[in-house]
Structure 1
Amino acid sequence: MSRRRIETVSVASVYPLYVAKAQKKGRTKAEVDEILCWLTGHSQQSLAEQLATDVDFATFFATAPAPNAARSLITGTICGVRIETIGDPVVREIRYADKLVDELAKGRPMHKILRTGE
């Protein structure tokens, strides 16, 4: 059996894992949604629609209404790889989401996660 590329995995299949990771550390589904909306420009409603359609990551990020320009400020490592060195744009976007959810689960304040500087 061949291994599916991460870009073809549905966002809806990973989303519950993001929520579970956050909730295990006392954070909320609403905060996970806020992160994904900030990253992509989706509204709460359009995010819910994307999750309901079982869209894959490549399509989710390619059709994002307004990718946040500040996402380039997301740096560091995820799965042992420096985010800023990832060449594949879809994989980099996925790792941005992973990193933000990790920061949420580690208790980082939301304004720092969203790079608002407040």
Structure 2
Amino acid sequence: MNKRKPRFTESSRSQSTTPLKEVFDKYLEVYRLKERFDETYVTAHWEKIMGKPIASRTVSVFVKGNVLYVQLDSAPLREELVRARNKILKLVNAEMGKDLVRDIVYF
């Protein structure tokens, strides 16, 4: 019988492995995409950060240049969130694990 040799052998693989998270973080760093990725993360996880009631009243949310821009469809909610500015900054930055947002603009 003719035995075929496996295409990839244990010896042909690199002996060092790097976790996918490290590779992805390095990729973002090399191509200077980390800040943009973090900004997009806040937008994508707004409901998780603020909760469903506030997220359902949010028309638009985005981060640009360390400023969080939030458009709401409720004036009373907007006033309440203006008063809770520091708490929201802490929630967003805690979710990110760093000081990404330094100010909030409601429109």
Query: What TM-score does the superposition give when structure 1 sets the normalisation length?
Result: 0.28
Higher relative contact order structure (alpha carbons within 8 Å, sequence separation ≥ 6): 1
- Which is helix-richer, 1 or 2? 1
Structure ranking higher in strand proportion: 2
TM-score of the superposed pair, with normalisation by structure 2: 0.30
- Answer with 1 or 2: which has the greater Rg: 2
